[in-house]
């Protein structure tokens, strides 16, 4: 099950159309910032319409929720999964707050999936001058302790991943590399579903091997945001007098679809030539 973050309906269109063309299930994610822009209940309503109209396996994730109040808002609105991220807290406090959130959110919807986060994966799905250095990897021992102490369904470990793209990654001169052995060790210790955050700019072969080693959900946001901006810039440059939004915005949708399709193909182990779209 894989994933793309969105801020508005152009993002929804890009992710949904890509998944549908490839006939693969997909998760749409919104961070607290993205939810503040689109609206918690508005996002849930749009996804509900798509599910009803198309009977399609598309799911809704509240990404990096930093307070119980905003996690509860998402649970009440009908989100399928919530990333409850208190990884900035000391480990013991992260465990106790995440445990409390799991209990409260399952009380609202027993079938909701809750993800907890440990370790360092950097902040901001944005362009960074440089890739973050020296991020501490999650250990199998702490993953096991965190899983047992919280009752989470999904674990977000730090395994070489980080949010955002550096300028050298955008130029194609650098890539993120993952610690595949560590992923396999954590999967073995916890038996949980695992999310890889900050997958933009990651080596393709590493992503393939990470999924084989136990990653069940991959988050792609920065690459999609970059495509959105480039698509718009191309449209604005080509059509200087155009002011009709629905004539300009398809260029952003198409640019995002190009990225989302390529990532979904990779994550689902499909070859371009064998997929009928």
Task: Determine whether 226 is exposed, middle or buried from the number of CB atoms within 10 Å of its CB (0-12, 13-18, 19+).
Answer: buried
Contacts of 144 (CB under 8 A, 6+ apart): 189, 190
SS3 of 81, please?
Answer: strand
Closer residue to Zn ion, CB minimum distance, 182 or 235:
182
Q: CA 216 to CA 214: how far, in whole Å?
A: 6
In eight-state DSSP terms, residue 179 is -
Give the residue at shortest CB distance from Zn ion.
197
- 225 is an interface residue for Zn ion by CB under 5 A: no
List binders of Zn ion among 120-179 (CB under 5 A): none
44 vs 158 by CB, closer to Zn ion = 158
CA atoms within 13 A on the CB side of 140: 13
Q: How many CA atoms lie within 13 A of 81 on its CB side?
A: 28
DSSP 274: G
Between 197 and 257, CB nearer to Zn ion: 197
User: Least distance to Zn ion from the beta carbon of 118, Å?
Assistant: 13
Binding mask 178-207 for Zn ion (x = CB under 5 A): -------------------x----------
Give the nearest distance from C-beta 2 to Zn ion in angstroms.
Answer: 13
Tokens representing residue 229 in the block: 């901006």
Bridge partners of 61?
29, 81
Measured from the CB of residue 249, what is the shortest distance to Zn ion in angstroms?
Answer: 26
| For Zn ion, the closer CB: 19 or 62 | 62
Taking a C-beta distance cutoff of 8 angstroms, is the pair 261, 17 a contact? Answer: no
Total residues in contact with Zn ion, by rule CB under 5 A: 1
State the nearest-atom distance from the C-beta of 29 to Zn ion, in Å. Answer: 8
Name which of 2 and 197 has its Cβ closer to Zn ion: 197
Cα(31)–Cα(37) distance, rounded to whole angstroms? 10
Q: Kindly give, in sequence order, each residue whose CB lies less than 8 Å from that of residue 108, ignoring residues fewer than 6 positions away.
A: 72, 75, 76
Tell me the closest approach of the beta carbon of residue 27 to Zn ion, in angstroms. 12
Question: Rounded to the nearest whole angstrom, what is the least distance from the CB of residue 122 to Zn ion in the complex?
Answer: 9
**73 vs 85, which CB is nearer to Zn ion?**
85
User: Residues in the site for Zn ion, rule: CB under 5 A?
Assistant: 197
């Amino acid at each position: 099950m894989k994933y793309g973050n969105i801020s508005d309906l152009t993002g929804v269109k890009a992710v949904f159309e890509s998944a549908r063309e490839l006939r693969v299930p997909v998760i749409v994610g919104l961070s607290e910032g993205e939810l503040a822009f689109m609206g918690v209940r508005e996002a849930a309503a749009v996804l509900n319409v798509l599910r009803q109209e198309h009977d399609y396996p598309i799911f809704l994730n509240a990404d990096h929720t930093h307070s119980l109040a905003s996690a509860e808002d998402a649970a009440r609105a009908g989100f399928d999964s919530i990333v409850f991220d208190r990884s900035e807290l000391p480990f013991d406090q992260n465990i106790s707050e995440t445990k409390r959130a799991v209990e409260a959110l399952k009380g609202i919807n027993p079938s909701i999936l809750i993800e907890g986060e440990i370790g360092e994966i950097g902040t901001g799905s944005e362009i960074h001058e440089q890739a973050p250095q020296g991020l501490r990897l999650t250990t199998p021992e702490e993953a096991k302790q965190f899983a047992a102490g919280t009752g989470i369904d999904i674990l977000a470990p730090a395994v070489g991943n980080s949010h955002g793209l550096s300028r050298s990654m955008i130029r194609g001169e650098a890539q993120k590399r993952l610690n595949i052995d560590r992923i396999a060790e954590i999967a073995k210790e916890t038996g949980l579903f695992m999310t890889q955050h900050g997958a933009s700019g990651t080596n393709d072969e590493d992503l393939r091997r990470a999924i084989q080693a136990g990653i069940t959900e991959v988050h792609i946001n920065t690459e999609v945001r970059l495509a959105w901006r480039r698509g718009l810039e191309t449209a604005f440059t080509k059509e200087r007098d155009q002011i009709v939004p629905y004539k300009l915005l398809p260029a952003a949708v198409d640019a995002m679809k190009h990225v989302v399709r390529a990532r979904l193909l990779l994550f689902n182990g499909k070859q371009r030539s064998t997929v009928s779209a």
